[in-house]
Amino acid sequence: MVSLISKDIIKSTVKELLRLASIELPIDVKKALMDAYEREVENVPKMLLKAILDNIELAEKTGTPMCQDTGVHIVYVKLGDVEVEGLEDAIKEGVAEATATIPLRPNVVHPLTRKNPGTNVGLNMPYIYIDKVKDGFLEITVMPKGAGAENMSALAMLTPAAGLKGVKEFILQTVVKAGGQPCPPGILGVGIGGTADVAMKLAKEALLRPLGSRNPNPEVAKLEEELLEALNGLGIGPMGLGGKTTLLGVNIEVAYTHTASLPVAVNYQCWAARRATARIYPDGRVEYISHKRG
Amino acid sequence: MAEYRLTTPLDEKTVRELTVGDVVYLSGTIYTARDEAHIHILEDLRKGREVKIPLKGGVIYHCGPILKREDGGWRVLAAGPTTSTRMNSLEPEFIEKMGIRGIIGKGGMSKQVGEALVKYGAVYLSFTGGAAVLAANGIKAVKGVYYEELGMAEAVWVLEVKEFGPMIVGMDAKGNSLYEEVEAEVDRNILKVKQKLNI
């Protein structure tokens, strides 16, 4: 017998996911920041990374969002072979309630009038991606993303003649141009191929993959490692004030593309790489995958 | 690299002594001011309206905080810096007309802003981006608010701070910019990086 996953349980799970994501970084990100602190030798980058690590600890201890830019909310849903009630409304209501109770900063405004509804909910925001899968659960991932880093995102529609060199050159120029503005050390999400929209979507999805994981395709994995090592040689460093660590990771996702196209998209993630995932089962059980629930 | 513990309002002599790379902890009062606050204050000045915020010798903070209503007042929960470059086109006039001595932000600012720092005697202090709880820890009280109608992120919040920091002098009143120094270094490194990447 299939039982219904209620709107209430979806809403409360979204609220909890937003709380967890805003307050506590995933373990892979924390570890990468600690490693970066150890690696730096100069005073300025060491001091900046120490401030970041102190901040992470204080946020967890006080249950406060780690950054005042609690972002806008992109929500990834894997809808398994389960019955759900009012999925999209439940997510929107969860975001609005989390905004009031955690609280989160009301960031969402109309793009032209700049009117702020005060709830972080508006037309097409939170933006929800729903993928149908065959599993016996509903999986929800929230990814709050601040504007400082998101504003450094870039897309290039290269010619096939530009090739791999063109792809590398564009990624390099994007990182150089961004400098200290996206709060480095950050993570580079890269989407290669598809169409303009698919490349951008893949670039963001690449950021859902934990640091240290590699693309299953060996050639793409090699490109990830090559870019990470080389780009850290730029010396932009934490906050653009110099140092060995500009990037904590480079994650690339690929899609087949038109024979006449070579889209490359970059989505820059600041050090506060916030994400949280939970699975809701038809029996009402909720499993938090990304965080140990306190 | 020297370490300074300063109290607001700042005087010109102290500010002109600071050098890029110095570390500063600040006590006293700071005022949040980002995009909308800059636009509205400058517009009010141009229209001959009185701006009552006592910013002479003061320090502004590029920040849109998260606050919580508590006991009839406000408490700051998270208050890290926002990207300062968005205020590039407004800041030189703001420095000149409001007589501020310090700007706290992240990411650095333009050459034009650097020139205004030299001309009027002010510094740009870099607070670690995203370190919002650490910043809130240095904020002891919310003493008031101007332009509240602009919303929580854009209003001018009057914050009492104690040992607020650490901040690094990113741009000084002698014409130095740590950001420009790093950019020049990055430019020199690009060739090496390109060789590594085979491009």
B181-192: burial string, b at 16+ Cβ within 10 Å, e else: ebbeebeeeeee
The pLDDT confidence band at residue B1, using thresholds 50, 70 and 90, is confident
**B52 to chain A, closest Cα gap in Å:** 26
Q: Of the candidates B23, B128, B152, which has its C-beta nearest A52's C-beta?
A: B128
**pLDDT at A152 > cutoff 90:** yes
Q: Is A172's Cβ below 8 Å from some Cβ in B?
A: yes
Half-sphere exposure of A42 (CA within 13 A, CB side): 13
Please judge whether B197 and A44 are an interchain contact, meaning their C-beta atoms are less than 8 angstroms apart: no
Return the pLDDT at A200.
98
Those of residues 202-261 in A touching chain B at CB distance below 8 A are: 226-227, 229-231, 233-242
Instruction: Please report, to the nearest 10 degrees, the dihedral formed by the alpha carbons of residues B119, B157, A22, A92 taken in order.
Output: -120
**Residue B169, φ and ψ in degrees, nearest 5:** -65, 110
All residues at 6 or more sequence positions from B102 whose CB lies less than 8 Å from its CB, including other chains:
B8, B10, B15, B26, B58, B59, B60, B122, B123, B124, B125
The whole-number average pLDDT for the span A35-56 is 97
| Residue B38 is a catalytic residue | yes
Q: Which residue of B has its CA nearest to A169?
A: B199
As a whole-number percent, the residues of chain B with pLDDT over 90 amount to 96
Contact A102, A173 (CB under 8 A): no
- Chain B closest-CA separation from residue A13 CA (Å): 23
Nearest-by-CA chain A residue for B165: A51
Q: Which two tokens stand for residue A36?
A: 């970066």
Looking at every residue in chain B, the average pLDDT score rounds to 96
Band of pLDDT at residue B151, cut at 50, 70 and 90: confident
Q: Across the interface, do B178 and A67 touch by the CB < 8 Å criterion?
A: no
Collapsing DSSP to helix, strand or coil, A231 comes out as helix
Of B77, B129, B199, the CB nearest to A168: B199
> Residues 43 to 62 of A: which have CB under 8 A from any B CB?
43-44, 47-48, 51-52, 54-55, 58-59, 62
Is pLDDT of A291 > 90?
no
Largest CA distance in chain A: 62
Supply the pLDDT for residue A294.
43
Q: Tell whether B108 lies on the interface with A, counting CB pairs under 8 A.
A: yes
| A77 lies within 8 A of chain B by CB | no
- Which helix (H) or strand (E) element contains residue B30? strand B23-32
Write the DSSP symbol of residue A94.
Answer: H
Map tokens 């097409």 to a residue.
A124
Distance from the B186 Cα atom to the nearest Cα atom in chain A, whole angstroms = 5
The tokens of B62 are what? 């590029």
Q: Position of tokens 């609690």? A: A70
The residue among B69, B167, B193 with the most chain A CBs within 10 A of its CB, best to mutate, is B193
Q: Of B109, B133, B180, which to mutate for an interface test with A (greatest number of A Cβ within 10 Å)?
A: B133
State the complex-level ipTM: 0.91
* Higher pLDDT among residues B151 and B176, named by residue: B176
- Residues of chain A with Cβ-Cβ distance to B163 below 8 Å are none
pLDDT of residue A293: 58
- Tell me the chain B residues in contact with residue A183 when contact means C-beta distances shorter than 8 Å: 106, 129-130
C-alpha B13/C-alpha B9 separation (Å) is 12
Could you read off the pLDDT of A229-288 as tens digits, one per residue? 999 999 999 999 999 999 999 999 999 999 999 999 999 999 999 999 999 999 999 999
Chain-chain contact of A235 with B85 (C-beta, under 8 angstroms): no
Flag whether residue B145 sits within 8 Å of chain A, measured between CB atoms.
Answer: no
| Alpha helices by DSSP H, chain A | 7-23, 27-39, 43-62, 87-101, 147-150, 163-178, 196-206, 218-231
Residues of A in contact with B190 (CB under 8 A): 172, 176, 234
For residue range A186-229, what is the model confidence (pLDDT) as tens digits? 999 999 999 999 999 999 999 999 999 999 999 999 999 999 99
Mean pLDDT of chain A: 96
Six-digit token pair at B128?
């670690």
Predicted local confidence at residue B81, as pLDDT: 96
Given CB atoms, is B83 within the 8 Å cutoff of chain A?
A: yes
B126 close to A (CB below 8 A): yes
- Active-site residue among B38, B40, B101, B106? B38
Q: Do B78 and A66 touch (CB under 8 A)?
A: yes
Selected residue of A43, A64, A239 to mutate for chain B interface (largest B Cβ count, 10 A): A239
Annotate B163-187 with DSSP letters as a single string.
Answer: EEEEEEEEE-TTS-BHHHHHHHHHH
- A270 lies within 8 A of chain B by CB: yes
Residue B114 has pLDDT above 60, yes or no: yes
